[in-house]
Amino acid sequence: MWDERYAADDYFYGTEPNAFLAEFAHHLPAGPVLCLAEGEGRNAVFVAERGHAVTAIDSAAEGRNKALRLAAERGVEIDYQVGDLAHFDPGQDRWAGIVSIFAHMPPPLRKALHARLPAALRPGGVLLLEAYTPEQLAHGTGGPPVKELMMDADTLRAELPGLEIVALQEVKREVNEGRGHTGTGAVVQLIARRPD
């Protein structure tokens, strides 16, 4: 599905970074950053433009091709790995930051991945996450078509033990990201930090 979606010439979610990420990227400490479910690369390229060494992962080879093209156009480099997040090992004490923007997946896979993220951050490392909440189904402006793939604040509190929550809120905001996300969206936004 994703390779087909990304095969078009245009960028399905646009080439500009997610607005939440753009506003709060200053929370990412200096050092390497991991971008999850990165798609066509808009967020990874933005983070690389801020001076971070960026590793991105997504299951879609077409997404990787477009991400590398975007990076070249913007004069930055990213390490983009094609792989399944269900089997991805983010390592230990490795990342200054982890970025998860609309990384929706079945609950068992999401829980397993989220359980690995706190230890993957370096002490002082920061997780920035935005996802659609189940209320998004009423808007129909993007995101998965089933409630189970979405997240809310309680879900994130339960699935990310060991991180200090800097900010966590559920809000409605205008999401204008290419053809894929257009209009009012119901989202959950998280900034969390691994204690020193």
Tell me what pLDDT residue 7 has.
Answer: 67
Tell me what pLDDT residue 171 has.
Answer: 97
Task: From first to last of the 196 residues of the chain, give the pLDDT tens digit.
Answer: 666 776 677 787 789 999 999 999 999 999 999 999 999 999 999 999 999 999 999 998 999 999 999 999 999 999 999 999 988 999 999 999 999 999 999 999 999 999 999 999 999 999 999 999 999 999 989 899 999 999 999 999 999 999 999 999 999 999 988 787 788 999 999 999 999 9
Q: Sort strands 181-193 and 54-58 into parallel, antiparallel or unpaired.
A: unpaired
Domain that holds residue 166: 2-193
pTM of the model: 0.96
Tell me what pLDDT residue 157 has.
Answer: 97
| C-alpha to C-alpha distance for 39 and 158, rounded to whole angstroms | 26
The residues, any chain, with a CB within 8 Å of residue 192's CB and separated by 6 or more, are 126, 127, 129, 160, 163, 164, 165, 166, 168
Residue 7, CA atoms < 13 Å, CB-side half-sphere: 5
CATH number, domain of 161, equals 3.40.50.150
Q: How many structural domains comprise the chain?
A: 1
Tell me what pLDDT residue 11 has.
Answer: 81
